[in-house]
Amino acid sequence: MADADSPWLVVGLGNPGAEYAGNRHNVGFMVADLLAERLGGRFKSHKARAQVVEGRLGAPGLSSRRVVVAKPLSFMNLSGGPTTALRDFFKVPVAHVVAVHDELDIDFGALRLKLGGGDNGHNGLKSITKSLGADYHRVRFGIGRPPGRMPVADFVLRDFSSAERRELDYFVDRAADAVESLIVDGLERAQSTYNT
Q: Which of 25, 46, 101, 137 is catalytic?
A: 25
Cβ 103 vs Cβ 142: under 8 Å: yes
* Residue 87 identity (one-letter amino acid): R
Query: Catalytic: 96?
Result: no
Residues paired with residue 50 on neighbouring β-strands, in sequence order = 46, 72
Identify which of 53, 61, 93 has the alpha carbon closest to the alpha carbon of residue 184.
61
Between CA 52 and CA 157 the distance in angstroms is 24
Residues known to be catalytic? 25
